[in-house]
Amino acid sequence: MNDSEQKRRFERLTRAYGDDLYRFAVWLCRDPTHAADLVQETLLRAWRALHSLKDDKAAKSWLITILRREHARGFERKQLPISDSDETLAADSESGEPDHQVELAQFREAIMALEPNYREPLVLQVLMGLSIAEIANQLELTESAVMTRVFRAREQLKVRLERGRLQVKK
């Protein structure tokens, strides 16, 4: 593959998955600025290793793996400050209605309150659109373990959201 073909391939992949990578990075680090840096580092590593990607159909999973590893490297180097805001979901929201904003905030809070071993598979499935098999590969778990974690995450979310609605009604 010559340089111009490699550049076109890389641009096609970044256009297709850049927004998803950023959204997932915000979920991982809870800081939009750090997430942008994380995506840049991910794309830099992806550019350097583009020759190792044999099938573009596996690109999304490949990029997420790079992003997760780059995020983990950040903890090896130093602990970065964490922000509680998740501006990405608010930006994704098309409705400016106050009730919708409250529900969105409650939903975001409920997801962030989940233990990481439940939150991450759920976010990979719902936000990133990965299959159970892809999530199992990403997290180095069995498919049945991923299905169990996603199921439990959804059940915990249901309970948390119902509890929140009951408190609002009182």
Q: Is residue 85 domain-resident?
A: no
Query: What is the residue-averaged pLDDT of the chain?
Result: 80
CA distance 71 to 138: 14
Cα gap 67→139, rounded to integer Å:
13
* Amino acid 31: pLDDT: 86
Please say whether the beta carbons of 130 and 124 come within 8 A. yes
Query: Does residue 103 sit in the same domain as residue 152?
Result: yes
Q: Could you list the residue range(s) of the whole structural domain that residue 58 is in?
A: 3-77
Task: State yes or no: pLDDT of 141 exceeds 80.
Answer: yes
Query: Is residue 86 in a domain?
Result: no
Residue 52 lies in a domain: yes
pLDDT tens, 80-130? 444 443 444 444 444 456 666 677 777 778 888 888 889 889 888 887 788
| Domain assignment of residue 83, yes or no | no
Q: What is the total count of domains within the chain?
A: 2
Question: Is the predicted pLDDT of residue 55 greater than 50, yes or no?
Answer: yes
CATH number of residue 33's parent domain: 1.10.1740.10
pLDDT given for residue 127 in this prediction: 77
Verify that 148 and 107 share a domain, yes or no: yes
Tell whether 71 is covered by a domain. Answer: yes
Backbone dihedral angles phi then psi of residue 142, each to the nearest 5 degrees: -80, 160
- Are residues 72 and 19 located together in one domain of the fold? yes
CATH number at residue 110: 1.10.10.10
pLDDT given for residue 29 in this prediction: 82
Residues 12 and 70 in one domain: yes
